[in-house]
Amino acid sequence: MKPVALVTGGSSGIGRASAVALAHQGYRVVVASRRAAHLEEVVAQLGEDTATAIPADVSVDEDRRRLLETTAKRCGGLDVLVNAAGVVHPGSLVDAEADHIRHMVDVNLLAAIFLFREALPCLAQRRGAIISIGSVGGLVSSRISATYGATKAAIHHLTVCLAREFARHGVRINTIIPGPVETAFVGGGALQQLAEATLSGRIGQPDEIARWVTALADPNAQWVTGASLTVDGGFVIGP
Ligand SMILES: NC(=O)c1ccc[n+]([C@@H]2O[C@H](COP(=O)([O-])OP(=O)(O)OC[C@H]3O[C@@H](n4cnc5c(N)ncnc54)[C@H](OP(=O)(O)O)[C@@H]3O)[C@@H](O)[C@H]2O)c1
């Protein structure tokens, strides 16, 4: 039987690239996010034997419950959880709308905490792994939004705390910290500016993050847990 990977934010960008990369490594993948049509594109690309789409808003309790129940029912268990769903509302904190602040905390942080809590018992049955997508904005001062940076820094810290707590169950918990990657997250005007601010002189592509997702998911990476792996083309160092 194929190992099973659930990828939130699997409809686009880094999540979608991760789902495709995991499928190519032999996983059965479940892609979850709000836009059903985008999820169905992933299923069409990978085939129904390999991919399942479950539309869900991870910040809604009932959606998360249905997501995990349906994954268990259709796939028989869970080996890998990729926490890639994320939102950003760029701008200064003093000008930010309260709804936008709550939205970032709800999706980037609270939804992840609850999803981990709900998925960890299933992951423990298979000695599985969680891989979160953090951000350089949570490592150094976020230029796009302080709240966004704070939610990502919290994910990096959650990784360390949960890795310690769940090591005895054989569950590994790691985070990848991407620099700027060409997805819907990065507005067109910012591309050149971000490329120039990166040591490598360019921004990354989603599959350059996805290959580290598969590396951390691999049971051969048994000795890697509680790690935050920066994959940023040298963005943090600067040009
Ligand atoms: N691109 C970058 O430069 C960069 C850098 C560092 C970190 N990251 C992180 O990488 C992750 C993926 O972002 P991306 O760059 O690939 O951008 P993206 O293409 O916009 O992906 C964001 C994903 O999150 C999903 N999502 C948003 N709200 C959701 C919700 N409430 N419930 C379920 N899914 C939700 C979106 O799907 P739906 O709209 O279908 O719900 C989409 O699949 C994010 O966590 C982001 O913070 C990105």
pLDDT digits 0-9 by tens, 68-82: 999 999 999 999 999
Lowest mean pLDDT: which of 33-37, 109-113, 182-186, 215-219?
A: 182-186
The domain locations on the chain are: 4-231
Kindly report whether the global pTM for this prediction surpasses the value 0.95: yes
159 is written with which tokens? 């990784």
Tell me the CA–centroid distance for residue 187 and ligand 1, in Å. 13
Q: Which atom of ligand 1 is nearest to the CA of 38?
A: 40
Whether residue 17 contacts residue 207, with contact meaning beta carbons closer than 8 Å, is answered with yes
**Residue 89 to residue 7: CA distance in whole angstroms:** 22
Tell me the CA–centroid distance for residue 141 and ligand 1, in Å. 20
In CATH terms, the superfamily for domain 4-231 is: NAD(P)-binding Rossmann-like Domain (3.40.50.720)
148 is catalytic: yes
**Residue 159 to residue 139: CA distance in whole angstroms:** 14
Q: Is 57 in the pocket of ligand 1 (CB under 6 A)?
A: yes
Q: Within a 10 A sphere around the Cβ of 18, how many other Cβ atoms?
A: 31
Alpha helices in the chain (DSSP H): 13-24, 36-46, 61-75, 98-104, 111-125, 146-166, 190-196, 206-217
Q: Is 166 in the pocket of ligand 1 (CB under 6 A)?
A: no
Q: Which atom of ligand 1 is nearest to the CA of 11?
A: 43
